[in-house]
Structure 1
Amino acid sequence: MSETNAFITRTDIESDDSGPLDGQTVAVKDNISTKGVRTTCGSAMLEEYVPPYDATVVSKLKDAGATIVGKTNMDEFGMGTTTETSAFGATENPAAPGRVPGGSSGGSAAAVAAGEADLALGSDTGGSVRCPAAFCGVVGIKPTYGLVSRYGLVAYANSLEQIGPIAPTVESAAQLLEVIAGDDSHDATTRETDATYADAADGDVDGLTVGVPTELVDGADDAVVEQFEATLDSLCEQGAETVEVSLPSVETAVQAYYVIAMSEASSNLARFDGVRYGPDTEAEGNWNDSFAAVREEGFGEEVKRRILLGTYALSAGYHDKYYKKAQDARAWVRQDFAEAFESADVIASPTMPVAPFERGESLDDPLQMYLADANTVPVNLANLPAISVPAGETEEGPVGLQLVGEAFDERTIIRTASAAE
């Protein structure tokens, strides 16, 4: 085990092909299927699971000449903001020792920050690429929903999640995005694209309008806001201008996100019933007893909490009270973003309202962990693209600048991020 504990499984899958990622090592989050290499999702439930196929993004990595060096640690089934809920131990933040690397793709961000991989793939359901990118001082992109295939991604919340790149620079992240983007016959939500992304990292923001929503800035720590404003000043010096925009719906975004995500998780994780997956138990009795024993042993506390809450939200008598209202709130979030983009080319905020937590700080207070996602979850609800780029340091560690773009306009956020870099 390395000092960071960034990897659950080390491997060395060399490509037989040549392409844009020749000579590049890539770490893959452990909820993305790799043929012949175990994929655990950070859970004891899948500790011995070895997929018989590659995810589409993994096939594209191989076609591009990349070498896959391992499967990275993560919050169990992607449920967490700190990479502390993994059944394989917590991951250390190489950019801020003693503090969390963010989550749920914390292993991927830590591997890149520590130089244990050139590039990495994560998955982002409510900020799980951007949060660890910010906390570890690297770049992370959450693509528009449908730009990157989810085939081979172990599902947590289908309507929210996307696979995205993590890299040390904006240009290298954009190049990795270029490799994994595009239509896939295995994923009906994808669409064909001929867009290029690496060449957009040219730093040209002359005449660009950056919208700043006060709702995503006012609640952030003072030290985070200081670094955020300094980065905005730098963009203005390069020819951009800032305007104030409003996203009033973000006040309900966290609540709506967790109702939707937990509801979808309770459905998706129903497959883990001890028949096809899960640890052997010695439970006696009927099927329900065996089912309960497998889940008790195989799932961690955070996963159990989210399954219970999601099942409750979908149950008879509560569906309209919780799930339907959350979907209404989601539509409100989309509308607010659409109106904000009428006066701005990109929308900027701190990626996370706080600097990296100390290890163990949020485990006893799940609500604190959920609220920390306030700036990232609205993007997933609206199915928009966003990037986190390093925006300086506080005494507690790195902070990130989040830039949000209109659907399938990754080029503009990449261009802006390269100017902020």
Structure 2
Amino acid sequence: MSLFQNRLPEVHRMLTAKEVSVSELTEESLAIIAERDKKVNAFLTLNEEGARASARALDDKLASGAARGLLFGLPTGVKDNIVTKGLRTTCASQFLNNFQPIYNATVASKLQQADAVTIGKLNMDEFAMGGSNENSSFGPVRNPWDLERVPGGSSGGSAAAVAAGEVFFSLGSDTGGSIRQPASYCGVVGLKPTYGLVSRYGLVAFASSLDQIGPLTRNVEDSAYVLQAIAGYDAQDSTSAKVEIPDYLSSLTGDVSGLRIAVPKEYLGAGVDASVRETVLSALKVLEGMGAVWEEVSLPHTEYAVAAYYLLSSSEASSNLARFDGVRYGARVDEGGGLLDLYLNSRSRGFGPEVKRRIMLGTYALSSGYYDAYYLKAQKVRTLIKQDFDDIFKKYDVVIGPTAPTTAFKLGSQTEDPLTMYLNDILTIPVSLAGIPAVSVPCGFAEGMPVGLQIIGKEFDESTILRVAHAFEQNTDHHKQRPQL
């Protein structure tokens, strides 16, 4: 059995007892990647020499008896839009094919401080724009449960690497559901923290008012460990929140007696696959049997969330991606036609079709004469969606529903229909617009593919959603199922 099947405390016990070394954990990770990743395509860049050097240093640290970090010795992968000093960071785009960052993102530094071992950088939709990981310029990631299906996106590589047992945990980023939706499709746990809880410094921006980094893990307890290591205020991030970081592990009590659950009727209505709906209702019965109570509620502005999200995120993307011009770094196509031709040729050949589509949409929405009609109106809708959640949380502790309306779909089945693709995030987008936390935890299977249960909480109340997810997990065995690659 792979060492990565163990819970984090068990791995730490094995390391302390000298039953296994960090170098052995690292070598197993690299061996599994060599065997499986040619099928899955989760990794874009491997950090073999750096990982082995880190493992040797940690083995020495263990032998010396020095204090160890929270994630000591654990092999991990990092989504390729999180910059890592000296380790190629591409955002899965040809524009940044050879980009070597000269500094670490704050979360990358925190992983080092927690004594994790970074194995490499993970595949994604180009510049995090997509919901299937088919927009990567390095080829799509494949779902370990069915190699003919998508893993979800944009953090598809982060979810697939954990599901395939290649790393112990990974980091992804979530703008409109890009951690939670792939977690649902790949049968792992994906946590989107409250906006501002985890530093965005060093995250290549897609939509700055929505982007948030979070962990993908095999179980909820491991998710609490990783969040504990990466959360906290960062002066280098102007949107970082100065809040006290609680002990997330102490919240995993297994007790949900008296918990008040809101189930939005919009999350179980038209467009949600019948098998997904039944799986989620079965999960609610499990929680009910543990002493929780649930009621159907309404989040009336949910129907406007997708339209508002794509206007806002595309507008911010148009602004953020203006810096990629072929002058300072990245792709440069200079055919001697002058500065404007340099911009045109570099951006035309460096960006893929989905990135271009969103730049065009965002530029239009921000243009003179259209700003009030589109961007400003979308911001007003965002406020209404946030108010819907605020009203619900006056009476209920958590909101629960499916993470995605369907299970993972076939590769290539929606690439020619971007509007249908966008609707796959209809259940995750409202949470991102409101800036509140949510976790996706495996709750069953439909036609052999994983289904995710989305547990949504009040802002900065990650402790509650982790408690509920962990309690559910302790009374089911869905998270223990593994794909047979």
The TM-score, its normalising length taken from structure 2, stands at 0.85
% same residue: 54
Look at both structures and tell me which one has the larger radius of gyration over its CA atoms: 2
Q: Cα RMSD (Å) of the superposition? A: 1.1
| Counterpart position of 1:118 | 168
* Residues in 1 aligned to 2:98 and 2:305: alpha-carbon distance in whole angstroms: 36
- State the secondary structure of the residue aligned to 1:48: coil
What's the CA shift for 1:3?
1.4
* Residues in 2 aligned to 1:374 and 1:251: alpha-carbon distance in whole angstroms: 8
* Residues in 1 aligned to 2:382 and 2:408: alpha-carbon distance in whole angstroms: 28
- State the secondary structure of the residue aligned to 2:39: coil
Would the aligned equivalents of 2:231 and 2:245 in 1 still touch at CA under 8 Å? no
* Residues in 1 aligned to 2:106 and 2:432: alpha-carbon distance in whole angstroms: 21
Structure 2: tracts of 5 or more residues without a match: 1-36, 59-67, 474-485
Equivalent of residue 339 in structure 1, options 388, 391, 406: 391
What's the CA shift for 1:343?
1.9
Alignment deviations for residues 107-158 of structure 1 (CA, whole Å, 9 cap, x no partner)? 0000000000000000000000001100000000000011000000000000
* Residues in 2 aligned to 1:299 and 1:201: alpha-carbon distance in whole angstroms: 44
Equivalent of residue 218 in structure 1, options 243, 249, 269: 269
Pair 1:6-2:57 in alignment: no
| Counterpart position of 1:95 | 145
* Residues in 1 aligned to 2:335 and 2:472: alpha-carbon distance in whole angstroms: 57
Pair 1:180-2:230 in alignment: yes
The TM-score, its normalising length taken from structure 1, stands at 0.98
* Residues in 2 aligned to 1:333 and 1:283: alpha-carbon distance in whole angstroms: 48
Pair 1:234-2:286 in alignment: yes
| Counterpart position of 1:157 | 207
Cα distance, 1:188–1:214 mapped onto 2, change above 3 Å: same
Would the aligned equivalents of 1:96 and 1:398 in 2 still touch at CA under 8 Å? no
Equivalent of residue 206 in structure 1, options 234, 257, 275: 257
Would the aligned equivalents of 1:266 and 1:306 in 2 still touch at CA under 8 Å? yes
Q: Which ranges of 4 or more aligned residues in structure 1 deviate by more than 6 Å?
A: none
| Counterpart position of 2:311 | 259
* Residues in 1 aligned to 2:438 and 2:358: alpha-carbon distance in whole angstroms: 25
What's the CA shift for 1:204?
1.0
- Report how many residues are paired: 421
Q: How does 1:19-58 map to 2 (within 5 A)?
A: 19-58=69-108
* Residues in 2 aligned to 1:317 and 1:311: alpha-carbon distance in whole angstroms: 12
Alignment deviations for residues 262-309 of structure 1 (CA, whole Å, 9 cap, x no partner)? 000000000010001232324332211111111111000000000000
Alignment deviations for residues 38-65 of structure 1 (CA, whole Å, 9 cap, x no partner)? 1000100000001001111011111111
Alignment deviations for residues 217-268 of structure 1 (CA, whole Å, 9 cap, x no partner)? 1131001001100100000001101012210011101100010000000000
| Counterpart position of 2:191 | 141
Per mean C-alpha deviation after superposition, the further-off stretch among 206-215 and 183-192 is 183-192
| Counterpart position of 2:466 | 414
More helix by share: 2
| Counterpart position of 1:171 | 221
| Counterpart position of 2:376 | 324
* Residues in 1 aligned to 2:181 and 2:348: alpha-carbon distance in whole angstroms: 29
Q: How does 1:263-274 map to 2 (within 5 A)?
A: 263-274=315-326
| Counterpart position of 1:283 | 335
| Counterpart position of 2:181 | 131
| Counterpart position of 2:20 | none
Per mean C-alpha deviation after superposition, the further-off stretch among 312-321 and 219-228 is 219-228
* Residues in 1 aligned to 2:108 and 2:330: alpha-carbon distance in whole angstroms: 25
Q: How does 1:365-376 map to 2 (within 5 A)?
A: 365-376=417-428
